Amino acid sequence: GVMEKLGLGPEVLLQENPRLIYARLTGFGQKGKYAKSAGHDINYLALSGVLSKLGRKNENPYAPVNLLADFAGGGVMCAMGIVIALFERARSGRGQVIDASMVEGVAYLSSFLWKTKNLGLWSRPRGENLLDSGAPFYETYRTSDGKFMAVGAIEPQFYNQLIKGLGLNIDELPSQMSSSDWPEMKKKFASIFAQKTQAEWCSIFDSTDACVTPVLSFDDVDSHQHNKERSSFIKNDQGEISPRPAPVLSRTPAVPSRKREPFIGEHTEEILLEYGFTKQEIAKLYSDKAIEFQNPKANL
* 70 given a catalytic annotation: yes
Label residues 239-275 b or e (16+ Cβ within 10 Å = b).
eeeeeeeeeeeeeeeeeeeeeeeeeeebebbeebeee
Residue 122 CA to residue 126 CA, distance in Å, equals 8
Question: What residues are paired with 25 via a beta bridge?
Answer: 100
Label residues 88-105 b or e (16+ Cβ within 10 Å = b).
ebeeeeebbbbbbbbbbb
Residue 233 CA to residue 246 CA, distance in Å, equals 11
* 132 given a catalytic annotation: no
Residue 132 CA to residue 138 CA, distance in Å, equals 8
With beta carbons less than 8 A apart as the criterion, state whether 150 and 205 touch: no
Catalytic one of 41, 70, 145, 209:
70
Catalytic one of 40, 145, 209, 226:
40
Residues with active-site annotation: 40, 70
